[in-house]
Amino acid sequence: MSGSGFDRTADSRKSFLQGNDPSDPKGYHMRQSFEELNKQKNLIVMDGPMGTELERRGYNVNDRLWSAKILRDDPAAIRRIHYDYCAAGADILTCASYQASVKGLCEAGCSQARAEELIALSLRLVQEARESWWEEGGRLSGRPLPLAAGDIGPYGAYLSDASEYTGAYRLSRSEYREFHLPRMRILQETGAEIFAVETMPRLDEALVCAELLEEMGADYWISFTFRDESHICEGRPVSEVTAALRDLPHLKAVGVNCTPPEYVRGIVRRLRAGTDLPICVYPNSGEIYDGVTKTWHGVPGAQTFDGMARGWYAEGARLIGGCCRTTPDDIRTIAGWTEEEKASLCRSLPPLD
């Protein structure tokens, strides 16, 4: 790659500069793909958290369902946050199905049909927010249409005991499949363009999710939680993780999320040593989560999120966003880099025919 990160063909340069077709005001005929987005942007901006952003706006998510409680009770609040991330510059919008499994929703009192409706709704809210942004000026912004991602949280999220940060559970392959497949099917049928298999503390669970999505022909990324720079939360080394994730045609990126940001540079270096896939990073703010009280403690790290994110980019991360306790302002700052590079590119390129 060139130093500017914009070593592109003329066609992809034109697509980057123009964005999607302005003659299609709502973007209804378009389905974005990771491949197309990756052609257009050297830095793909991910969105930020849902649960802690709801908390910041005054919603009580201290519940087994976490953000899925608000999905059930006030879906308009979810839509507003998706819109705000989109307006801030996110290229990927991830729906609020992280903790919205069929099993978990049914145990919280929903019927099977209602649980399935809520999971489908989580993705429709992304689509509606994206369409609103597109209609209100996004189509003329020069930005590509953001990807609509279906969120697949780990079994540990359903347990609601913070075991997504320890990996202190183990299911059989068939049990993992039974837990994850219904949500995946609903989201695919509703129009998910990529899947976020995220906050995974265990390699065995991530591999079952990969197996299911490969069978479905669905694109996805996998991001893990880490106990340190070298090991995912269950204790397996990064080298073992990257070796296990080879030869998966629909796997588009691998990375880290909801992990202390001070670990991320070392994690990126180790991931890059074991895979040629793009590396995604979206850590938390640096505060510590208490799984018993479901509260956050401490303060963010001394470095700014912007400063740390520039370091992750320098190490080779090509998808960057935020997880718990980051905000749309953090995403807006990261998106500003692409605007700076785009402006630099426009000044240096000859006129397009």
Average confidence (pLDDT) over 299-313: 81
Cα 185–chain centre separation: 18
Rounded to an integer, the average pLDDT of 247-273 is 97
Summarised one tens digit per residue, pLDDT across range 167-187 is 999 999 999 999 999 999 999
> To the nearest whole percent, how much of the chain has pLDDT over 70?
82
Q: Report domain extents, the chain.
A: 43-292+315-348
Q: What is the mean pLDDT of residues 265-292?
A: 87
Q: For the chain, what is the mean pLDDT? A: 87
Say if residue 227's pLDDT is above 70: yes
Cα–Cα distance measured from residue 74 to residue 72, given in angstroms and rounded to the nearest whole number: 6
Angle of CA points 94, 157, 234, to nearest 5°: 105
Q: Which two tokens stand for residue 179?
A: 């837990």
Burial per residue of 111-148, b for 16 or more beta-carbon CB atoms within 10 angstroms, e otherwise: eeeebbbbbbbbbbbbbbbbbbbbeeebbeeebbbbbb
Residue 15 has pLDDT above 70, yes or no: no
Answer CATH for 43-292+315-348 from 1.10.3720.10, 3.40.50.880, 3.30.565.10, 3.20.20.330: 3.20.20.330
pLDDT at 346: 46
Higher pLDDT, 233 or 28: 233
Q: Evaluate if residue 8 carries a pLDDT over 90.
A: no
| Tens of pLDDT, residues 311-320 | 999 999 999 9
Per-residue pLDDT of 313-345, as tens digits, reads 999 999 999 999 799 999 999 999 866 665 554
